[in-house]
Amino acid sequence: MQPFDYYKPKTFEEAFDYLTLPGKTVFPLAGATDFIPSYRDGVWQADAVCDIKALPGVRDLRETPEGLWVGACVLMSELARSPLVRAHWEVLAQGAEVVGSEQVRNRATIGGNMCTASPCADTPPPLYVLDAVVVLKSKAGERRVPVTEFFTFVRKTVVQKGELVTGVIIPKPPAGTVGEYHKLSRRQGCDLSLVSVAVLAAPRNGGYDWRIALGAVAPTPIRVPDAEAILSKGWDAASIDEAAKAAEKTAKPITDVRSSDVYRYEMVRNLTRRAVRSVAEKLKK
Ligand SMILES: Cc1cc2nc3c(=O)[nH]c(=O)nc-3n(C[C@H](O)[C@H](O)[C@H](O)COP(=O)(O)OP(=O)(O)OC[C@H]3O[C@@H](n4cnc5c(N)ncnc54)[C@H](O)[C@@H]3O)c2cc1C
């Protein structure tokens, strides 16, 4: 592997200076679980990395008046184990707990999971149904982007050169909200998703507002408004089947090393049906 320079700033000002060094390609570095394999394999070329883990606030996981603040360098294992996240944002904990292996989860950060922008990443679908907002910072200041506008294509996001994701804000769902994240992969344990589905039902006006997001079946995660509309009117067996078919119609999977598109279409329908049924069962309790 080619050597590269390593910087570890303690302030954002210093970080932005490194990230915008003239004539240099400087990558932000968090857990390095995506960076190192991609750099080693020549997918990414860099002159240097800017380790962002010592920047203020990026390791924080706390409730604020706006909702849950998840700093960009919060680990998957921290999200999965946090009693606060489990109590109010359970679907995110479920996504985090199926990322890779225990070793990977102890390094991998939420910011890295988002910025890599792999369609099969496990935290974006939960963030979609939770209506998360991504917070970005650069020399020009701070901006906020709804997570549904953050990903623009496979491995592409709205993050500009010299800009960092500092964290995500996730509004607190109303009491009685139920969520489920289901991931299908070739083998149990450490493997990437063939298809993933996040489902959330949040109480509203005496009924439920349903939200569904799919992963690994389009260039970016996608919401399924048609299925959400069907379920928001009722969730008997026929409506669940209809919603699952709507999810299949919305998906745009490809054939790749992990699966054929035909199999993925089938699995979108099956997994959506299964996840919605699980949520419906929880609502009965
Ligand atoms: C064995 C193995 C199994 C895996 N299994 C899964 C899995 O099941 N599910 C899954 O979703 N992922 C999986 N991954 C991928 C990976 O672990 C995750 O995507 C992880 O969350 C990346 O986070 P990181 O902190 O390691 O990112 P890094 O590798 O540090 O960074 C990744 C990219 O994001 C950029 N970046 C990082 N943080 C920021 C920031 N705050 N602002 C701007 N840019 C930033 C970096 O410059 C780099 O381009 C696996 C990886 C391995 C090695």
Distance CA 274, CA 285 (A): 17
pLDDT at 188: 78
Q: What single string gives the DSSP state of each residue in 139-186?
A: TTEEEEEEGGGTEEETTEESPPTT-EEEEEEEPPPPTT-EEEEEEE-S
Its pTM stands at 0.97
Mean pLDDT on 24-30: 98
Which residue(s) pair with 6 in the sheet? 49
159 and 76 housed in the same domain: yes
150 and 233 housed in the same domain: no
Rounded to 5 degrees, φ, ψ at 264 are -65, -40
Centre of ligand 1 from the C-alpha of residue 212, in Å: 24
Which amino acid residue places its CA nearest to atom 40 of ligand 1? 165
Q: Confidence class of residue 22 from pLDDT cuts 50, 70 and 90?
A: very high
The CATH number of residue 144's host domain is 3.30.465.10
> What angle is formed at CA 208 by the lines to CA 205 and CA 210, rounded to 5 degrees?
135
Centre of ligand 1 from the C-alpha of residue 15, in Å: 19
Is 56 inside a domain boundary? no
Mean pLDDT on 186-193: 84
Contact 174, 204 (CB under 8 A): yes
Tokens of 97: 């707990």
Please state, for a pLDDT cut of 70, what percent of the chain lies above it: 100
Domain encompassing residue 189: 178-284
Is 118 inside a domain boundary? yes
Centre of ligand 1 from the C-alpha of residue 111, in Å: 8
pLDDT at 284: 86
Centre of ligand 1 from the C-alpha of residue 32, in Å: 7
Centre of ligand 1 from the C-alpha of residue 56, in Å: 20
Is 113 inside a domain boundary? yes
166 and 215 housed in the same domain: no
Closest CA to 111 of 152, 74, 150, 81: 74
Please give the C-alpha separations between residue 19 and each of 51, 52, 125, in angstroms, as whole numbers: 10, 11, 29
The number of folded domains in the chain is: 3
Which one-letter amino acid corresponds to residue 275? A
pLDDT at 130: 98
Mean pLDDT on 156-181: 97
pLDDT at 285: 78
Residue 30 Cα: closest atom of ligand 1: 30
Contact 183, 208 (CB under 8 A): no
pLDDT at 190: 81
156 and 185 housed in the same domain: no
Mean pLDDT on 32-52: 96
Which amino acid residue places its CA nearest to atom 32 of ligand 1? 112
* Residue where a domain terminates, one of 130, 154, 170: 170
Task: List residues near ligand 1 (CB under 6 A).
Answer: 27-35, 37, 52, 72, 99-100, 104, 107-109, 111-113, 115-116, 121-122, 159, 164-165, 190, 192
pLDDT at 257: 87
Evaluate if residue 137 carries a pLDDT over 90: yes
Is 11 inside a domain boundary? yes
Mean pLDDT on 180-200: 92
Mean pLDDT on 265-275: 98
pLDDT at 136: 98
Evaluate if residue 245 carries a pLDDT over 80: yes
Q: Confidence class of residue 156 from pLDDT cuts 50, 70 and 90?
A: very high
Strands 195-204, 207-215: pairing is antiparallel
The CATH number of residue 227's host domain is 3.30.390.50
Please give the C-alpha separations between residue 68 and each of 16, 65, 272, in angstroms, as whole numbers: 26, 8, 26
Q: Dihedral sign, CA of 256, 258, 263, 266? A: negative
pLDDT at 88: 97
Distance of CA 191 to the CA centre of its chain: 16
Mean pLDDT on 132-151: 98
Is 140 inside a domain boundary? yes
96 and 13 housed in the same domain: no
pLDDT at 187: 81
Which amino acid residue places its CA nearest to atom 36 of ligand 1? 112
pLDDT at 212: 98
Q: What one-character DSSP code corresponds to residue 225?
A: H
Mean pLDDT on 247-268: 95
Please state, for a pLDDT cut of 90, what percent of the chain lies above it: 95
In tens, the pLDDT along 61-102 reads: 999 999 999 999 999 999 999 999 999 999 999 999 999 999
